[in-house]
Amino acid sequence: MVGNEPDDNDVNKARNQSPGDDNLSTSIDTSKHAVIGARIDELFVRFPELVRPADTGEKPAMSTATVVDQETVRLQSDICRLEVERIEQAVKIHELQRDVEAQLVEHRNLRDAIARYASTTEELERKQRLQPLLARVCAPAQEALLLSDLADRFQEHLFNETNPCCAFVVSIDIRRSTELMLKTKSARQFALFLTTLGDKLRRIVIDEYGVFDKFTGDGILAFFPEFYSGKDAALRVIRAAQACHREFQRHYRQSWGSFTAIMKDTGLGIGVDFGAVQGIQIGGEITVVGGPVVYACRLGAAQAGKTVLNHPAYEKISQYVRACICHETEIDFKHEGPFVAFEVVHFDDQHSPATPEWMQVKGIP
């Protein structure tokens, strides 16, 4: 073989190759170009941030480098898509967190509102329970019931079912009240006499830090619990009793014009006992029950103008020997016979009792 002349084998191969083989090869290359071009166009439509190369009108040659570049573009496009999805998910998570925080704030606000409502309701119920008591104590005590722990003390001591409190019970009875009624000029005048007297006696009791229990029809019932009346509750009881005797005589004399005849042997019989009592509420009213209530009422049947003590009360009051002098006497209890009692025969009201402990709380006048 000389130079570049084809040998016999090349000539035979050229002769054996048909024209259709060239057409088939060209068709396959064209189809591949079309598919790749369409895919690239799709990528640039989906991701406009990619820069499209200048169109020269010539189809790029499908070299290995071109295929690698196309795969790189595809991977970059997938990365962009995934990054967009990540950002969108982050935005959704942030929005959900914001919604959750808003719900938590709303929940806290609702919980606080419920707590305030419960507190207000409890305070209202507390004041409603105190309402019957407020009318039975003096003005400073009314203020203390609302502003200090005095209400808790009443609840703890007076209404404690397992540990009844100790108190002086005072029964004040108008002796010969039936005869007094028969000697008034009219029922209305007797009613006015009783209600006015009852209000004056009530005022005396509560001013000595006693608790007014009830009007009994011809007298009053009161009690002086030690936790409320103070350590000198015994002294306050006798002070109140002596003041009530004086007030009756003054009120009766001022009311002589309401009677057709003036009785000389009328007045107050006052009985006092000391011991454990239990506070109860009935129909919204407060009262106390216990043995001292029974015996104070029976001692209230004493002669007009007399204050008579049962022995437990006498033991308490006898410590104030400089202020109060008592003599032993005898009183007949209905259905029980005669009992020893102690009549107050002298009292020096110049002795001032100590201020109750709850009055020393700051802010209570």
pLDDT tens profile 331-350: 887 778 889 999 999 988 78
Query: Which range has highest mean pLDDT (55-69, 127-141, 195-209)?
Result: 195-209
Task: Check: CB of residue 293 under 8 Å from CB of residue 277.
Answer: yes
Residues 115 and 42 placed together within one structural domain of the fold? yes
pLDDT in tens, 213-263: 999 988 999 999 999 999 999 999 999 999 999 999 999 999 999 999 999
Confidence of residue 27 (pLDDT cuts 50, 70, 90): low
The one-letter amino acid code at 278 reads: Q
Residues 200 and 307 placed together within one structural domain of the fold? yes
Mean pLDDT, residues 64-86 taken together = 78
Residues 258 and 169 placed together within one structural domain of the fold? yes
* Residue at which a domain ends, from 111, 134, 157: 134
Q: Is 196 left (phi over 0), alpha (psi -120 to 50) or beta?
A: alpha
Q: How far is CA 95 from CA 82, 89, 109, in A?
A: 20, 10, 21
Residues 228 and 310 placed together within one structural domain of the fold? yes
Residues 120 and 153 placed together within one structural domain of the fold? no
> What are the residues whose beta carbons fall under 8 Å from the beta carbon of 271, sequence distance 6 or more?
170, 171, 173, 295, 296, 297, 298, 299, 300, 301, 302, 307, 308, 309, 310
The predicted structure's pLDDT at residue 271: 96
The one-letter amino acid code at 36 reads: I
Residues 153 and 130 placed together within one structural domain of the fold? no
* Whether the predicted pLDDT of 123 surpasses 80: no
Please indicate whether residue 237 or residue 60 has the higher confidence score (pLDDT): 237
* Phi/psi at 319 (5° precision): -70, -15
* CA atoms of 295 and 313, how far apart (whole Å): 11
Residues 56 and 147 placed together within one structural domain of the fold? no
Confidence of residue 188 (pLDDT cuts 50, 70, 90): very high
* CA atoms of 301 and 270, how far apart (whole Å): 7
- Give the residue numbers spanning the domain of 177: 139-360
Would residue 208 count as lying in a domain? yes
* Strand 165-175, strand 267-282: pairing: antiparallel
